[in-house]
Amino acid sequence: MQWFYDASVFITMPLFVGGFVVVSCAIVLALRPVVRRVVDDPEQWDRVLEHVIGTFGVFFGILLALVAVSVYENFAEARQATLDEASEIGALYRATGGMPDEVGIPMRMTLDEYVHTVIFQDFPAQRRDIVPTTSTAQLDQFEDLLQSFEPQTPQDEAEFVQVIGVFDEFVEARRARVDVTTLALPPLFWVVIWVGAAVNAVLIGFIYVRRLGLHLLMAGLLALFIGLVIFVTADMDHPYAGSISVGPGAFERLLEQTLE
């Protein structure tokens, strides 16, 4: 499915939603002759079918809503993790300003290199659902610089303690960003969604409608809306991939405003 997230939304959305509508209309065309042969009392048939569609619609609608909310929460978590990490890096960069130059300057250079690595290597990897590891080198380098420092004065000790505290928060924020790389709905949820969409199309095809154009219009409009909901849900399912995704904007702004 990587092609789905790499392609432009102006290509994937029309193909996805349009295909959804075409398949739904095809199901209607396939079932209309069957319904006309087996139904001898259209009013009773539609009355019973109304209860079936109503009951199914409630459960299917609840499922789509819960899935959409869950996917959006995952997306919001990934976005917040990115913002938190960028904020902690900025705080850490400023905190190193009170350290002696022989340690503070290499620390700030390491942070600058780290941010560039995150932007140009981590995020492209996360876009492919690959947990990034490249920026770990700069993280270890910064930690080595921190451990090699020996405070000589009470002021150095205070600055050192402050930097350690901010560094710990930065590490936690980074871990949160990395951990949500592979965050996605379980495949079983998608199986249930697609089965539900297929059942919905079949139930709409079972409706006894005399005019073919009206029947296709009903099926097409419903399929259009359901297709859009599923498309947006699928596009957001991987927080760092797709047209609706978390990008490195927070780190780019950090470079412009703080590090450079």
In a domain, 22, yes or no: yes
Q: Chain centroid to CA 20: how far?
A: 22
In a domain, 115, yes or no: yes
Report pLDDT for 208.
87
Please give the structure tokens belonging to residue 251: 């780190």
Q: Chain centroid to CA 138: how far?
A: 27
In a domain, 161, yes or no: yes
- Could you give the CA distance from residue 241 to residue 78 in angstroms, rounded to a whole number? 11
In a domain, 253, yes or no: no
- Kindly report the length of the chain: 260
Residue-level pLDDT, tens digit, the chain, 260 residues: 678 888 888 889 999 999 999 999 999 999 999 888 888 888 888 888 888 999 998 999 999 999 999 999 999 999 999 999 999 999 999 999 888 888 889 999 999 999 999 999 999 999 998 999 999 999 999 999 998 888 888 888 888 889 999 999 999 999 999 999 988 888 898 999 999 999 999 999 998 888 899 999 999 999 999 999 999 999 999 899 888 899 999 999 998 887 76
**Tokens 């957001």 belong to residue:** 236
In a domain, 248, yes or no: no
Neighbours of 172 (CB within 10 A): 13
Indicate the pTM of the whole model.
Answer: 0.84
- Could you give the CA distance from residue 120 to residue 115 in angstroms, rounded to a whole number? 9
- Could you give the CA distance from residue 110 to residue 146 in angstroms, rounded to a whole number? 11
Please give the structure tokens belonging to residue 115: 């941010």
DSSP 8-state assignment for residue 240 = T
**CA of 20: how far to CAs of 103, 167, 179, 220, in Å?**
60, 49, 33, 9
Label residue 7 left, alpha or beta by phi (over 0 means left) and psi (-120 to 50 means alpha). Answer: beta
| CA-closest candidate to residue 119, choices 111, 105, 2, 140 | 111
Report pLDDT for 109.
93
Q: How many domains are contained in the chain?
A: 1
Report pLDDT for 243.
86
Q: Which domain holds residue 41?
A: 2-242
Report pLDDT for 36.
87
DSSP 8-state assignment for residue 131 = -
Report pLDDT for 257.
84
In a domain, 249, yes or no: no
- Could you give the CA distance from residue 114 to residue 138 in angstroms, rounded to a whole number? 6
Report pLDDT for 209.
85
Report pLDDT for 1.
66
In a domain, 233, yes or no: yes
Report pLDDT for 62.
92
Report pLDDT for 260.
60
**CA of 159: how far to CAs of 74, 92, 131, 156, 164, in Å?**
36, 11, 33, 5, 9
- Could you give the CA distance from residue 177 to residue 34 in angstroms, rounded to a whole number? 53
- Could you give the CA distance from residue 154 to residue 161 in angstroms, rounded to a whole number? 11
Q: What angle do CA 122, 125, 131 make, to 5 degrees?
A: 85
In a domain, 57, yes or no: yes
